[in-house]
């Protein structure tokens, strides 16, 4: 059972206080989008064996959404950050890099490049 630090209220929240919301940093595709782009937005999700950037809501606490960098294999947490951003802050990327030197269980290379 995970324990994540809510970046708003600063408390170490137990998983029972949280609700997960899937992959973070999705770009919403509106009425003018192509079928492919819309499909990607609506249905296609990353399911990595490794580090994922994902959404969580402190639902039974302050009610705020935040983002988490977590390893799906080891449950390691590389940090949490507010949801009002298009990419993870540098400290998160650095933390991932420092603990995932090889490619194994790391952040998907497209993402790593996009967010670095």
Q: Helix H segments across the chain?
A: 35-42, 90-99, 109-115
For 6-89, strand residue ranges (E) read 12-14, 19-23, 51-57, 65-71, 77-82
Closest distance to another protein from the beta carbon of 19 (Å): 8
The answer to whether 42 contacts another protein (rule: CB under 8 A) is yes
Residues facing 71 on adjacent strands:
51
Q: How far is the CB of 55 from another protein (least distance, A)?
A: 7
Using CB under 8 A, which of 38, 40, 48, 87 touches another protein? 38
Q: Verify binding: residue 101, another protein, rule CB under 8 A.
A: no
Chain centroid to Cα 81, Å, comes to: 9
Under rule CB under 8 A, residue 48 binds another protein: no
40, 83, 97, 108: residue in contact with another protein (rule CB under 8 A): 83
């Amino acid at each position: 059972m995970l324990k994540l630090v809510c970046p708003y209220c600063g408390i170490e929240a137990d998983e029972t206080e949280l609700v997960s919301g899937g992959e973070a940093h999705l770009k919403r595709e509106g009425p003018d989008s192509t079928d492919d782009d819309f499909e990607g937005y609506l249905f296609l999700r990353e399911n990595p064996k490794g580090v994922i950037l994902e959404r969580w809501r402190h639902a039974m606490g302050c009610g705020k959404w935040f983002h988490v960098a977590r390893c799906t294999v080891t449950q390691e947490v590389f940090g949490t950050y507010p949801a009002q951003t298009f990419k993870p802050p540098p400290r998160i990327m650095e933390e991932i890099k420092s603990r995932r030197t090889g490619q194994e269980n790391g952040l998907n290379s497209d993402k790593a490049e996009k967010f670095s």
